[in-house]
Amino acid sequence: MNITLRQLKVFERVARRLSFTRAAEELFLTQPAVSMQIKQLEEAIGLPLFERLGKKIYLTRAGEELYLLGRTIAQQIDDAEQLIEELKGTETGRLNVSVANTIHYFAIRLLAEFCRRHPKVKVSFKVTNRKGLLQNLEDNEADLLLMGQPPDSQDLHAEAFLTNPLVIIAPASHPFAEKKDIALNSLANETFIMREMGSGTRNSVEKFLTERGFHLKVNMEMNTNGAIKQGVEEGLGLGIVSIHTLERELESKRLVILDVDSFPIIRQWFIVHRSGKRLSAVATEFAHFVKTEAPLFVRNDIIESALGFSLKEMPPRRD
């Protein structure tokens, strides 16, 4: 039997997604190239690996067995790659990190300092929302994540490294801009721009407001913080975002934080990896850097003057 690693890699992706189209997209191949690899693999094995029912494909018994085996082989290849990265040390290895859309402004600042200290390290830096981050980790496309509270149920190792306040933002010209102690109910007639489904910010805001029996009037959804901030500036509605997305707008006074009762929502930022994952030397070094030095890179002067109080006074809260 003449099976190649490439065939197994393509098979593993088609089997995981149960779609030739998605596998082709994710592997940057054409669909005929994916079909050819699977056909050659089926010929080498002498058994079909997929069956088609209507528009869907399913794994045959042989496909299921090969999928389990393929995952073990993929894990072992990954371990071998990590071991090689480890041997390369912290100077020339590769860092694969995925970060929440919400923390990417701050994370790039951290990354810039890390790269100044380790100039030869190669970096893959992906920005996506909470749902995408967990998918990246599952697909082994990231060694480390920087994200909000991860789910309890997954096999994850997570450590909190920074307080993450979510605040309500408005244009500087908004009638509530100068008001103090605004009751949550006074926002009942305001419209809000909300993050998309799958965003950790959105999950947290919804949970927080449901606990208080408050319903937001949401008139539109946007899938980046940058778009929400611009939408708020243009008067499309109010927004709820992490304070770590706001340093530039607060400094230039283009946006203001409203002083609303029960706000800010206090969350934490976490650094996360898979529990069984053997981290490369570079990933271990980056994780250590984030956990020990991240707070030094926050512009606390801007944040605390916009909030009107010190974050040290806020108790940590689990969301």
Asked if 59 contacts 15 with a C-beta cutoff of 8 angstroms, the reply is: yes
What's the CA gap between 93 and 85, in Å, rounded?
5
- Residue closer to ligand PGA (CB basis): 38 or 147: 147
Going by DSSP bridges, is the β-strand pair 238-242/191-195 parallel, antiparallel, or unpaired?
parallel
Identify the residue among 63, 70, 93, 148 touching ligand PGA (CB under 6 A). 148
Asked if 264 contacts 240 with a C-beta cutoff of 8 angstroms, the reply is: no
What's the CA gap between 129 and 109, in Å, rounded?
19
Interface pattern 103-132 for ligand PGA (x via CB under 6 A): --------------------------xx--
Residue 235 corresponds to which tokens in the numbers above? 């008067």
Q: Does 101 sit near ligand PGA (CB under 6 A)?
A: yes
Identify the residue among 70, 165, 200, 239 touching ligand PGA (CB under 6 A). 200
What's the CA gap between 43 and 303, in Å, rounded?
62
Residue 145 corresponds to which tokens in the numbers above? 């994540």
Window of 64-72, 96-104, 177-185, 211-219 that interacts with ligand PGA by CB under 6 A: 96-104
Identify the residue among 96, 102, 136, 163 touching ligand PGA (CB under 6 A). 102
Interface pattern 210-249 for ligand PGA (x via CB under 6 A): ----------------------------------------
Our CA angle for 142, 130, 293, nearest 5°, is 65
Window of 1-9, 78-86, 97-105, 280-288 that interacts with ligand PGA by CB under 6 A: 97-105
Containing H/E element for 8?
helix 5-17
Interface pattern 159-198 for ligand PGA (x via CB under 6 A): ------------------------------------x---
Closest approach, Cβ 169 to ligand PGA, in A, equals: 15
Residue 115 corresponds to which tokens in the numbers above? 């790269």
Containing H/E element for 305?
helix 300-307
Interaction site with ligand PGA (CB under 6 A)? 100-102, 129-130, 147-148, 195, 199-201
